Amino acid sequence: MKDEAGNVYVFKEHKADSAPVSGKVTETAQKVVYVYELKPVTPTPSPTPDAPKGNVTVEHVTTTGEVLKKETPVKTDEPVGTPYETKPEDKIVTDNGRTFVYKGLKEDSADPTGEVKEGTQKVTFVYEEVKGNVTVEHVTTDGKVLKAETPVFNENQSTGTAYETKNETELKDEAGNVYVFKEHKADSAPVSGKVTETAQKVVYVYELTPVTPTPTPEVSKPKSTTPATPTQDSSIPTSVVSTNKAQLPNTGEDNSVAFATLGTAMLVATFALNGKRRQDEN
């Protein structure tokens, strides 16, 4: 039986000085009394509280907050005080070829090594992107620079970025000499490829164009001429000496004949001298 408080009582006995549990009615009132005792209650043991536990996770991000490797568990539901240890990676290369190197811990990061605390601790490692560039240089076969080294990109690019370069057909040096493309220098960077964290230089080689000399015009020599043999001018009077008559010489006539003879001789000498000079010149 239970009382109002809910306590449970169990039958113990029939009270001895009460009316018998069975009999006959009499003129005097009779009362049968049953006695009950409290049932002992077995106390329910209180549950032992669980020891506090905690978690530790690690995450890798860039200086701009980009997640390189998502948050992963290091310790899960471990008792407080359990030691843990995490380490950064020296370098992380993404699927598209970008390169990142370890820089340090994020300001609000948990310690990389320590003990588990109640709740969750997150270790955050920060990485900085490494960028690069490609330059192109044009040189002669003997190493003289025709066109100074110039970058392919205006600013450094992420590693893995594709690049392509082209040679010039011909170039001139400061003196105006013309050089034509010969080859890509074998030990230089490839003419096309991808940017790396190490600087790359593409070198194109050019050779001097041979200059065809301009022919000198031939100077023609003057033709040799033979001087004409002078002929006696019929206008010059020829003296005729008559043998039939003895005639006294005329002084005026003698002088005319002498002058005519002298002029003819000088003319012949002049033509002969001119002919000799022309032969000597030839």
- The model's pLDDT over 156-175, given as tens digits with 9 standing for 90+, comes to 999 999 999 999 999 999 99
Do 151 and 193 share a structural domain? yes
pLDDT of residue 261: 66
pLDDT > 60? residue 245: no
pLDDT tens, position by position, 51-88: 899 999 999 999 999 999 999 999 999 999 999 999 99
181 burial via Cβ count (<10 Å: 0-12, 13-18, 19+):
middle
29: Cβ–Cβ under 8 A, 6 or more apart, which residues?
none
Structure tokens at 121: 């601790």
Asked if 77 and 106 sit in the same domain, the reply is yes
Helices (H), ranges, the chain: 251-281
Q: What is the tens place of the pLDDT at every residue in 137-148?
A: 999 999 999 999
More confident residue, 18 or 226: 18
Total count of residues recorded for the chain: 282
pLDDT at 186 over 60: yes
Q: How confident is the model at residue 221 (pLDDT cuts 50, 70, 90)?
A: low
Domain range spanning residue 12? 1-23+30-43
In this predicted structure, the answer to whether residue 109 has a pLDDT above a threshold of 70 is yes
On whether both 154 and 184 belong to a single domain, the answer is yes
Q: Tell whether 110 is covered by a domain.
A: yes
* Count of the separate structural domains present in the chain: 3
pLDDT on residue 55: 98
120 and 137 belong to one structural domain: no
